[in-house]
Copies of this chain bind each other. A is one copy, B any other.
Amino acid sequence: MYHVNEAKILEMEKFYRINLINSLIGYKSLNLLGTVRSDGVSNLCVVSSVFHLGASPALVGLIMRPERAHNDTLKNIKSSTYYTLNNVISTFYKQAHQTSASYPSGVSEFTECGLQEFYIKDFSAPFVLESTVRIGLELQQLIPLTINGTTMVIGKVVEIMTADEILEEDGNLSHTQAGSMTVTGLDSYFIPEFVGRLPYAKP
């Protein structure tokens, strides 16, 4: 049995602690976050901190770290108020991972990583053509988390695009049908297999 407490966690070598803490909570939602700068330069970065906030209104949250690459994304979200989340599938997960590299500001990760952007009417942010589940969001609120300098981004879902066969009769999306991947820690990628769907629980 491996058991460590706070004192031991603080003593850990930096990258060991990063790997351990990042992998604690298990499988994480995996998406590509697309934005655009006012001069039209697009930006794309892989994110694993997206969480469901509520269905009515339809809200999604995510955490942005206080780092250079992410600041570009955050600046774009602030200035345009629109951004997209696009699922990652096995045919391009290496390109998706590559978007985490620190490209200079003004360089598009779409071009650098070999993914195609596309746009729809009345929505300024780029979607990922290769994705099979794509969400368009409108910024609602930015909450600075003073505890560690990160920023919580709350967005309202204003566009949903997917293939008909991914959408089930009751509104549920089949991520096995979509081919969506999931991630643990910083860099371990997985494809889930369906085990079961359970009925609404009553005491």
- Tell me which of B90, B101, B150, B171 contacts A203 (CB under 8 A): B101
Q: A24-B135, A52-B25, A133-B24 are in contact. Are A191 and B192 (CB under 8 A)?
A: yes
Contacts of A58 in B (CB 8 A): 9, 17, 21
- Tell me which of B4, B5, B178, B200 contacts A187 (CB under 8 A): B200
User: Which of A36-44, A72-80, A152-160 lines the interface with chain B?
Assistant: A152-160
The DSSP consensus for interface residues of chain A is mixed
Name A residues whose Cβ lies closer than 8 Å to a Cβ of B.
1-6, 9, 12, 14-31, 48-61, 63, 65, 85, 87, 90, 93-94, 97-104, 112, 133, 135, 140-141, 143, 145, 147-148, 150, 152, 154, 156-164, 166-168, 170-173, 175-176, 178, 180-182, 184-203
